[in-house]
Chains A and B, each alone.
Chain A
Amino acid sequence: MEHEKNFQKNDQFELTMIPGGFAKKMRTCLIFQAFRFAVINLKMLVVVSKSH
């Protein structure tokens, strides 16, 4: 698996987590990210309104 190769590069990388293919794809999946855009904006608006 391409995304797993980095675990072997050094001790730091070996002991953390790396997103798999699906997780990485979802980061730039237009439909999913459009949904996340709405959710994140709502969350940010809530925090902004709590702060003013």
Chain B
Amino acid sequence: MARLVIMGGGVSGHTAATFAKKWLGKDHEVVVVTPNANWNWIPSNIWVGVGQMTKEEVVFPLAPVYKKAGIDFKQALAVSIHPDGKADSDTPYITIKYTEEGKAGETEEVTYDYLINATGPKLNFDATPGLGNGEGQMGSHTVSVCTADHAVHANEELHKIFDKAKAGEKQKILVGTGHGMCTCQGAAFEYIFNIEHEAKAAGVRDMIDIKWISNESFMGDFGMGGLHMKVGGFVVSSKLFAESLFAERNVPWLIGAHVSKVEEGKAHYELLDGTTGVEEFDFAMLIPPFSGVGLKAIAKDGSDVTSDMFLPNGFMKVDAKYDAGAYENWKASDWPRTYQNPDHDNIFAAGIAFAPPHLISKPASSVNGTPINPTPPRTGMPSGIIGKAVAHSICDLIQNGKSAKLHDASMAEMGAACVASAGKGLTTGTAAAMTVYPVVPDYETYPGTGRDTNYTFGEVGLAGHWIKHILHHLFVYKAKLKPGWTLIPE
């Protein structure tokens, strides 16, 4: 009997675990180690953040789902990986610390035959002084929509702003990225337009100035270097449509910005040209930069080999080309295909936890040397596809032996369907529905745009909103392993 241990119960880890258990059946063990008791459909957190959904609509407890599936669930934080065992044993294991009520703080060693690192990102608020509280958590000057609890708090603060606006006090709202190396511009985009939509509905839009701040060098970059789509016989950059939406909704923008410090009511920033400034705000949602969660890797002799297994940003090395060099040398083939760790063939990383070879967007730094460029997004669809492919590879290795062929899921050979909400409402909502193929541009296969413009498109409308709302229900249904769940694609 083999044991597959999956660290992380988010989109990628949960997908991997549930498919692995389905394919392995009772013959082998699947263990999930994740610190949260609940699964969270993160794309809907922005709606919690404006009060259009409750926390209960975007989370559900994992324990009953895993029990039904026959997956061993340990509500715990993974702390370290021991890929070669320890002095008195060659069996690889991880160490975990329980977060489950009643066992909080207890530690345990969990052996494995195969390991998936699907731990997602650490929300690195402290990377920007004042954005964090100095202890690894969000600070008090801004809000966040990265977790369901953060989003609940964000909505409470937002409605205080609306109340002040209704009382005749002009308010300033700032939304965007809180560091020069952030990703997740899409979530901030959704939040800013949902705020704008709700402010209109509340009759206070004229009393609120809303502004965007981000590390993108052009509007519509979204961490993917933007995209090109066919519209009206032209092939058009996403820059044009992104700027259009902001102009239409009266939301000015400040881009190429690294937020260097946050204080009460103030965000200090540096621009690509080296100039600095301060944006004042009454309410701000600034996405934090991501890093790996801080797993350690320990050799058999007890020495710390974390830097062998992880990049300095904390993400795990996989089969990517990490020495690709300058932007001019980047190729689609730099990106990983199997997500297998190069030194340990029984360890894989999926979703946000794997280390990308480099950015997707063109790198940029200020004249002072400050990196100001979006880092690569790993949205729901690629994360789910990668999790499933990794699970498939491991199941084949377990069932067919070490010579089994691994499954590919390169982001340079897969597309993504994304829906970015611009306001919720059954007949009044809109969203930008987009597909991009492939996610990582491949300029050798698709010279010019890097993407197949026959399968890359975007449009704003009510249909997009209906799609996002339906996908919310579909993916929660799928994650709960309800009948027919495997029919819903990642």
Contact = CB atoms under 8 A, between A and B. Distances in A.
A6 B248 contact: yes
* Main SS at interface, chain B: mixed
B461 A26 contact: yes
B437 A50 contact: yes
Contact of A3 (B248, B417, B437, B457): B248
B250 interface: yes
A33 B252 CA distance: 28
A18 B244 contact: yes
A12 B467 contact: no
Contacts, number: 92
Contacts of A49: 489
Contacts of A33: 461-463, 466
B462 A28 contact: yes
Contacts of A1: none
* Interface footprint category on B: 20 to 34
Interface stretch (B124-132, B280-288, B427-435): B427-435
A9 to B, nearest CB: 7
Nearest to A30: B427
B490 interface: yes
A13 B245 CA distance: 10
B381 interface: yes
B461 A12 contact: no
B57 interface: no
A13 to B, nearest CB: 4
B247 A13 contact: yes
Contact of A18 (B248, B252, B385, B461): B248
A45 B464 CA distance: 14
A12 B459 contact: no
Contact of B435 (A34, A36, A43): A43
B247 A28 contact: no
B414 interface: yes
Given A9-B252, A27-B462, 7 more contacts: A9-B250, A27-B460, A33-B463, A33-B466, A40-B464, A47-B455, A51-B414
Interface of B: 240, 243-244, 246-248, 250, 252-253, 381, 385, 414-417, 427-428, 430, 433, 435, 437, 455, 457, 459-464, 466-467, 489-490
